[in-house]
Structures are given as structure tokens and as C-alpha cells.
Chain A
């Protein structure tokens, strides 16, 4: 079979992907090599990895563990904002106020064009008020992160929403005598679970990687703790970074799988950039 003209030949494909892949592997390989170094004596072994895990994150690593706890808590908080605020609003707009859809899309995509570093300038005064009302706990950051993840979560959920005939489903359920609550819980959410799950996962990945807002509002999260640790013990910081990157990679892989299972039903052309 003759290939279509615009697909590359096998050789070209191998060369392009091979060389780019190789170049991109270098920093990751360097990270791994770095963590295996044995100090001034030279040579390589696993001692730093085993020390980190057998030490049970004691002593100097405690702060990292606390920070990781904070980040996980923030991830949970952010996901609940997405689930309790974004999902119902999207459904409501979709079902009852279709004319607001363009507004909704604009609002949800907007955070992409406002850099986090700009947002933080305005968040600082908001947070000084908030600190008086709610205390200055780390968890309050979840409100800011809810905004940061908005574009990502919106895309994931809206794509799913467009692929399911929500109107017919909810009208059918209403006709059969279901109340709004059972329509939501027993009909809509099960149908949208892929989108919601993907949105939740991507929110987790964003929150675990966030640095700008946390560092400038002086909250301790995984990323800010990594920077602190890297000053004293770069090896541990690199090990933890590798783990965090791997974790985020796996999360996205799962999201991808969620997407491909659905892909058979209907594919939306992704023109707006998949940010």
C-alpha cells in the first residue's frame, strides 16, 4: 500500500522522533545519574534512594513530608471546588441557560491569559483580608488553585458534556418522575464520570506542580519545599522531583486512557488549543 503523501517515511519518522526523543531524554537521564552519585569518592550506587526511604523521611526530610501533606490536602480542596462549584454550574448553564455558554467558556479559559505571577499581585491583598476572616491556613490556597485549574477542568468536563445528550437524558428522567437531585446523582453524573474524573486528575496534577502562587504567598507546598530542600540537599530534591514527575506522567496517562475509551462515540475537533 502506498502511503498518503503527507505521512513521513519510516526512516524519516525514526530519525526525527529518535533524535528529538534522545535530546529530551538527556536531562532526565542526568537527573537519574545525579541521584546515583556517591559523593566525592565517585562511582554510583543506590544509597541515596535507600537512605531516603529507610530513613522514613525523618529529620531534615520531615518538612518535605509536611509539605507533601499540604499539597495533597490542597489537591483534595481544589478537586472539591471543581466538583461542587464548576460541575453543577456547567450543568446548569448547559441545561437551563444555554445563552450563557459563551460567557462561561470565556470565563473558564480566561485564566490562561492571566499569568499566575500577575494573579498573585492581586491575590496578595485578597488573601490578607481572607486571613483575617478564615485564618492563614494553607488550605485557603485551594481557592486560588480552583481558578488556576479552571481552564484544564473546564476543557475535560465540557468535552464530555458535548458528547452526551444531556438535555434528552434529563428530560426523560424528569418525565419518568425523577426529582432534580436524582437526575443529577443517578443520571447525569454517571454519564459524565469520564469527563469529571479527567478534570479531577488534571486538577491534581496542576496543584502538585504549582509553585508561583504558593511561593509568593509564603505558603509551604511540595514545590516550595523542594526548592528549600534543594539548597541543603540537592540529591533528595532531585529524587523527589523524579518521583513527582513520574506520578504526574502516570496521572496524565490514565486521563489519556479515559479519553480513548470514549473516543469511539464522537470526536470534537480541538481547535481552541488543548490547554
Chain B
């Protein structure tokens, strides 16, 4: 089938090359040297930074997103509010990329709207200790900005699947709001919530565009390290480092996504 050939050529082959090139040196001989480069302090720091950034933005995004989902529960499912929120979340979560970087330059850049207002009106200089927008801390806010919408997209269906009868049963048995949330809703929702959290983590871990547009020098996180390994022409054999980095990313993604699907399977038990 042509489809199978297409998928093999443009999905399977690239993935295998990406992973496989981590294991060979310039002359094509099998080696573990490039994989050992993953132990290099620079690379280790990048992985640590990626982990930290992804974990932080995933947790904040999940909590704020879950709150937003709760707020949306009252809205009619086919109403205009839901339609707008759904589309907006889709745009921001999946297609923002480079443009979100611009948005944050306009907001908290050196001449950004919020920066200027804070400085001129409140006398607070957010860049008193140097400009951090173009470095690792600067990625946190833009990342949260696309994590929250993704949380809304993935978590809202689970929240909506909460059975109203459970609330009634709870009331019949003499429970109040607190018992409903802590004894019924939270335990039922926990797998979905954790699953979405993992998805958010994977999303932040693998995203490249926003970071690439925001930071033009330095490679603090793994995707940017791959960029510099791919584009550097000064150091020979760096493509293999890109392969090793790609291998590392795939491993992380594999673990995270396996956890995600296990949690989804667990969550599906209550969603019939």
C-alpha cells in the first residue's frame, strides 16, 4: 500500500536514522562514544534544564488549566463561549510557536507593554538584575501560555464526563460539597489529571519553535542543543551528537508517553 511506503519513508526511516546516528561515528563504524557524550556536563545541564522547565510549566499549566476547566463546566457544550474557548485553546496550544515568542517580546520585552507600565507607573523594574526574557527563565511564561490551553483541551472532556448522579448520590447519603470533591471527584479524576500532566510535560519537553525564536544565542535546553549540533559547521561529526541527543529525547518521550497511555487506560474505567 502506498500509505505504508510513505509512512516508512518519512516517519520510520527518519526516526531510525535519528536514533541510529547516535551509535555511529563519522566513518560509519558502530561506537558508543557519541552516546557517552550524553554524560557531558553541558548536555547534562541541558537535559536538567529541559526537565525543570517542562516540569514547572506542566504543573502550573495543569493547575491553572484544571481551574479553567472547572470554570467552563457551567457553560453549555454547544454554546458560543465553548466554541470560542475551544478554538482559542487550539490555536494557542498547537499553532502559536514563533508568534507566541513575539507576543511575549511585546509584553515583557525591554520595551514591552507590561514592562513599561510596571516601570513608569509602579517604579518596578522587572529587569533590574539583567534581561532574563531571552534566557531560560524567560521561557517559563510563554510555555505556561501554551500549556494552559493544552490542559483545557485534554482535561475538559474528563471533567465533563463526571456523572451528575454521583453528586446526587452523595447528597442522598448526607454528603456535602467537600465530601463530594474529596471523596468522589478527585479520586475519579486523578488518573486523567496525572495523564494530562504528563502530556503537558511531553509537550514542553519537545517544543522548539518558541524557544528558538526567543533565544538566538546559547542552547540551554535540549531542542536548542540539537539545533546547534545540526547547524554548527565548525565541529566535525556533530551530526552524530544530534543523533545522541535525539535518542535521549526519544527515551524520555517514550517513558512519559507510556505513562500517559497507562493512565488513560486507568481513567477510561470510569468513562463509559
Instruction: Mark A residues whose CB is within 8 Å of B.
Output: 3-8, 10, 12-13, 16-17, 20, 24, 26-31, 33-34, 81, 85-86, 88-89, 92, 107, 110-126, 143-144, 146-147, 150, 205-206, 208-212, 215-216, 223, 226-227, 230, 234, 237-238, 241, 244-245, 248-250, 252-253, 255-257, 260, 263, 269-275
Contacts and interface: CB of A to CB of B under 8 A. Distances in A.
B78 interface: yes
A120 B230 contact: yes
B145 A27 contact: yes
Q: Please tell me the size bucket of the interface on B.
A: 35 or more
Nearest to B88: A249
Nearest to B82: A256
B96 A256 contact: no
B48 interface: no
B7 A8 contact: no
Interface stretch (B13-21, B27-35, B36-44): B13-21
Contacts of A234: 102, 105
A20 B72 CA distance: 11
B67 interface: yes
Contacts of B9: 126, 143
A114 B73 contact: no
Contact of B96 (A116, A117, A209, A230): A209
Given A27-B103, A227-B98, A273-B199, A146 B18 contact: no
B94 interface: yes
- Determine the main DSSP class of A at the interface with B: helix
Contacts of B267: 271
B113 interface: yes
A70 to B, nearest CB: 15
A143 B3 CA distance: 12
B97 interface: yes
B103 A31 contact: yes
B111 to A, nearest CB: 8
A17 B72 contact: yes
B236 interface: no
Contact of A31 (B7, B97, B106, B268): B106
A208 B10 contact: no
A119 B209 contact: no
A12 to B, nearest CB: 7
A-B pairs, top 3 by smallest CB distance, nearest first, are A122-B14, A115-B206, A209-B95
A261 B213 CA distance: 39
Contacts of A150: 11
21 contacts: A5-B168, A12-B71, A17-B68, A27-B103, A31-B103, A85-B3, A113-B254, A114-B11, A117-B226, A118-B226, A121-B21, A121-B226, A122-B18, A125-B17, A143-B9, A143-B10, A212-B208, A230-B213, A249-B88, A273-B195, A275-B94
Contacts of A24: 92, 145, 148
A121 B91 contact: no
Task: Report whether over half of chain B's contact residues are helix, strand or loop; otherwise say mixed.
Answer: helix
A253 B82 CA distance: 10
A269 B226 contact: no
Nearest to B213: A227
Contacts of A118: 15, 18, 206, 226, 246, 249-250, 253
A114 B253 contact: yes
Given A16-B71, A118-B250, A206-B95, A238 B13 contact: no
A115 B70 contact: no
A116 B213 CA distance: 15
B208 A116 contact: yes
A117 B249 contact: yes
A230 B70 CA distance: 38
B161 interface: yes
A31 B168 CA distance: 47
A170 to B, nearest CB: 19
A68 to B, nearest CB: 14
B71 A252 contact: no
B95 A208 contact: yes
Given A31-B106, A119-B14, A256 B87 contact: yes
Contacts of B16: 122
B268 A16 contact: no
Contact of A16 (B68, B87, B88): B68
Nearest to A35: B106
Contact of A27 (B107, B167, B205, B226): B107
B167 A5 contact: yes
A112 B16 CA distance: 16
Contact of B243 (A27, A85, A121, A263): A121
B112 A30 contact: yes
A30 B107 contact: yes
Contacts of B249: 115, 117-118
Contacts of B246: 117-118, 121-122
